[in-house]
A = this chain, B = another copy of it.
């Protein structure tokens, strides 16, 4: 597929595209070659117009009769999300969550390749976790440059998160994926994505409370 200049898409669209992908993978596994926006919408409890609008960002247009070619759509979304190219990453904080992240098998499918982990615990430095070597924090600037690492994942405790973030920024990291439940400051030009489980939990617990309220 010819790579055209990627246009910026709104965040809600970006968050929905992986959900379409997961459905499309299931369809592909089931041997289904074509899919309509109506079908995608009904499976995901969404709206067909929204599905079509989201997909238009990837430069794929559905056919009025048959809809989309599953294989084409998968490729277009993967390219649009840049999941077809390698995104070299490091992780700071090799505790419970950090260890789970380093061992998460799906990241490779999304182009995310961990090259290094960093921790302040001397017992972990020099070891490997899920085959990823653990370094001391002060090695970060050099390794970021040598290994062309652009993404930094923060899984340290909250009280150490801003310090880890600052070190990543001064080391040359361009995108920070923060899992610490704290508000971080980054300079302009550095991308900060907060993947706080608390945001997802907020949606769930609020909906549960509304449901309980409606049943009283």
Contacts and interface: CB of A to CB of B under 8 A. Distances in A.
A19 B151 contact: no
A60 interface: no
Given A18-B202, A200-B193, A204-B177, A182 B26 contact: yes
B204 A110 contact: no
B182 A193 contact: no
A82 interface: yes
Count of this chain's copies in the oligomeric assembly: 2
Interface of chain A, helix or strand or loop or mixed? helix
Nearest to A193: B204
Contacts of A200: 15, 177, 193-195
Given A183-B22, A210-B8, A81 B205 contact: yes
Nearest to A111: B205
A206 B9 contact: yes
Given A87-B205, A99-B96, A210 B175 contact: no
A128 B210 CA distance: 33
A60 to B, nearest CB: 16
A19 B52 CA distance: 30
Interface residues of A, number: 66
Interface in A159-216: 174-175, 177, 181-183, 185, 191, 193-211, 213
Nearest to A106: B181
20 contacts: A6-B213, A7-B210, A8-B206, A15-B203, A18-B196, A19-B199, A43-B183, A80-B206, A81-B206, A82-B208, A97-B100, A104-B197, A106-B198, A177-B200, A177-B201, A191-B204, A191-B211, A193-B200, A193-B203, A193-B204
Given A15-B203, A110-B202, 12 more contacts: A6-B213, A7-B210, A8-B206, A18-B198, A19-B196, A23-B183, A82-B206, A96-B99, A96-B100, A106-B198, A110-B201, A177-B201
Interface of A: 5-9, 11-12, 14-19, 21-23, 26, 43-44, 80-83, 85, 87, 96-97, 99-100, 103-104, 106-107, 110-112, 150-151, 174-175, 177, 181-183, 185, 191, 193-211, 213
